[in-house]
Chain A
């Protein structure tokens, strides 16, 4: 399974620049996506083109559906009892909401880092190795662990204690361990749901540096409440907003980050990014 998707990815990368438009390839194409909790519609009709090898930030007030939306991009939303999503999300040639799409497969190709660091109750080594192993990784495991931890900027801090529990690390290190574990299954897209919100400024800085590295090889989508963070790290920004209480969240505006933070088209976006509300 993994080899097939790697091949697809190689093909996609070779096609870089050959596509029309601004020369970017699509990481994911979301069409008319709505998300529900039972009968409650939390997010409605989101359409968005997520560019490959770019960082896309999603901002907006609390409760406007950013986290719900990002969880729809790797079918993690439906893990919650009663939750479901409608619409289309194209990952390369595949609609991840097609009947034939398998969530387990999708989630290997679209990894996720959560708000609170959630390392497994295992050694640092096993935390990274586990995902690769269940996905049938047959290569050199030690090399993969080293590569993943280096990529997540954690290697130097843990290389002498790989056998120790992941819970012994600091919050920031745990979060980078979670990033390393996600990288180890070699996804195409990495989703991050407020990955630095529980961390101190130094750890946050490290995560941001990591992200800058990551976009060379991966497509990154990040939800953040930190406007400066969105401005610093992202290439594209989407603003989620709810007009009236009880309405579902909508993608209010989506554009290049520079434009979103300097000259957005809509008034609500400007009010939000300038800190006038939210």
Chain B
């Protein structure tokens, strides 16, 4: 600093990067990441457009309310598969959400850092990566055969139980992340007023974690309803003459119905499959909207 004048001047000359080049790099990077984001959107739009075009000839209210038909395929519909999938969606949500959220609360709020709990945690993370058909085999062994007197064998209950197993790890992980993001000061504030652990969980932690957990639950349920492999293994009907009306009834499902149609060579079945895909996407969209509405409602209240 002693030789100020010349030294500062010399120092300035040592900074060579041009702002012009740096802004150029900035723009190039923006274009790159925007392009990456576009890929997903473009693929989805192309896929949707293609499917809607193919399926438009079959899509009608009648398609939604008719049984599939091999004899008069042009009059056939998707009714039993649609109802079956709605059953699966609802039952799976009813089974997996309380179990998953409960397990997450235990692991995050109650479990101490013991060896057994660490083993449980590692296993849950690993279970999230197991292929879905394996869960189908597990469901076949346990729910269809071993527990047949309870589950009614190849019933919609069995299907939902199997799908619940499939998405439980995802729900647990998502809920734990949501719980973990709540600052410890909220828990301490509750305890300092003389609250028990359960009172703090019920009044503060669960409401605060719900929006975050719901995002994971939505994704998990969407995946469950779109799965064909596990329900095929646990005995989904590829054709049935009645509508699923109870826990122990047989059931059809949208993904397996679509698969059945698409494996037939005739154009009319191909179109039916396309229409079926549109229906399946609409169901998922509706379910997701409901969950997002639920999430927003909770966020407003808190």
Chain A residues proximal to chain B, CB less than 8 Å: 74, 76, 79, 81, 104-109, 111-112, 114, 116, 118-122, 130-131, 134-135, 165, 178, 181-182, 185
Q: Among A81, A107, A118, A181, find the residue whose CB has the most chain B CB atoms closer than 10 A.
A: A118
A105 to B190, CA, bound (A): 13
Known: A118-B189, A130-B203. A108 touches B183 (CB 8 A): no
Q: Which residues of A contact B188 (CB under 8 A)?
A: 76, 79, 112, 114, 118
Number of A-B pairs, beta carbon distance below 8 Å? 69
Question: What are 29 A-B contacts with C-beta separation under 8 Å?
Answer: A79-B187, A79-B188, A79-B191, A81-B112, A104-B194, A104-B195, A105-B194, A107-B192, A108-B193, A108-B194, A109-B194, A112-B192, A114-B185, A114-B188, A114-B189, A114-B192, A116-B185, A118-B183, A118-B189, A119-B189, A120-B190, A130-B203, A131-B193, A134-B193, A134-B199, A134-B203, A165-B302, A182-B192, A185-B194
Q: Which residues of B contact A76 (CB under 8 A)?
A: 188, 191-192
A130 to B204, CA, bound (A): 10
Residue of B nearest to A74 (CB): B192
Chain B residues proximal to chain A, CB less than 8 Å: 112-113, 183, 185-196, 199, 203-204, 207-208, 302
In the complex, are the beta carbons of A131 and B204 less than 8 A apart? Answer: no
Q: Among B113, B185, B187, B204, find the residue whose CB has the most chain A CB atoms closer than 10 A.
A: B185
Q: How far is the CB of A219 from chain B (nearest CB, A)?
A: 16
Q: How far is the CB of B103 from chain A (nearest CB, A)?
A: 20
Q: Chain B interface secondary structure, helix, strand, loop or mixed?
A: helix
Residue of A nearest to B185 (CB): A118
Q: How far is the CB of A177 from chain B (nearest CB, A)?
A: 11
A121 to B302, CA, bound (A): 5
Known: A76-B188, A81-B112. A120 touches B204 (CB 8 A): yes
Q: Closest 9 A-B residue pairs measured CB to CB?
A: A108-B194, A131-B193, A118-B185, A112-B192, A121-B302, A118-B189, A107-B194, A134-B199, A104-B194
